[in-house]
Amino acid sequence: EAGVVQSPRYKIIEKKQPVAFWCNPISGHNTLYWYLQNLGQGPELLIRYENEEAVDDSQLPKDRFSAERLKGVDSTLKIQPAELGDSAVYLCASGQGRGTEAFFGQGTRLTVV
Amino acid sequence: AQKVTQAQTEISVVEKEDVTLDCVYETRDTTYYLFWYKQPPSGELVFLIRRNSFDEQNEISGRYSWNFQKSTSSFNFTITASQVVDSAVYFCALSGPASGTYKYIFGTGTRLKVLA
């Protein structure tokens, strides 16, 4: 069974430029998460979807970040414009709902210069 | 509030030593879930175990074992006879309704270095 697939693995952009990350969850998983992981820290939730609905986006900086999950499968996370402080690893995970374990992709390492 | 504390930032052991990684959590939920994940240098978080708050039985899986104690709000992880391949960052996480929508609250991780 294929795991969570994220692309790209690495991205370097100049500040003020836009960037997008893509995630394909495990087939059949209705819950999808985007997490942000800064160096030396644990992941922190940006947004959580149940099917197409964003059920928790309270920590998503909505002035520059947006996300969508079309048809309740793949998801895209966008930053526009990127700032230096956005340099981090962006992790996507999927699961089967409340209380179950989430499975993570390899992440996208973003460097903003 | 929900919180996970991993007080050990980094641990170094020599191969074949046993090592215990500590995890202390805070929650007001009566039903909640605890997890351990491993993050090797490749970066992917690998799921190791899930425990629900009503199951305090300790669990053993090969060289790995977990000790869940509600009385002390701890969910510790022990690796027996450690190996170099165990070198990674290990995260403890908590999920429950008080977090809002069962999101995972992660600790700051413990970096384990196993020396040959």
Give me the pLDDT at residue A48, please: 94
Calculate what percentage of chain B has a pLDDT beyond 70.
97
- Chain-chain contact of A42 with B93 (C-beta, under 8 angstroms): yes
On average, the pLDDT of chain B sits at: 93
What count of CB pairs under 8 Å joins A to B?
Answer: 60
Give chain A's residues under pLDDT 50: none
Report yes or no: B102 at the A interface, CB cutoff 8 Å. yes
At residue A2, the pLDDT reads 81
CA B104 to chain centroid? 13
What's the confidence (pLDDT) of residue B83? 97
Structure confidence at residue A97 (pLDDT): 81
pLDDT of residue B57: 85
- Which of A7, A41, A101, A108 would best serve as a mutation to test chain B binding (most B beta carbons within 10 A)? A101
Average pLDDT score over residue span B9-29 = 96
Structure tokens at B40: 């090797």
**Higher pLDDT pick, B53 / B56:** B53
Helix (H, G, I), strand (E, B) or coil at B84: helix
Q: What is the pLDDT of residues A82-100, one digit of tens each?
A: 999 999 999 999 999 888 9
Q: Please give the structure tokens belonging to residue A48.
A: 């959580």
Of the residues B3, B39, B101, the best mutation for testing chain A's interface (the one with the most A CB atoms within 10 Å of its CB) is B101
> Is B108 close to A101, i.e. CB distance below 8 A?
no
Q: Return phi, psi of residue A93, to 5°.
A: -140, 155
**DSSP label of B41:** T
Residue type, A77: L
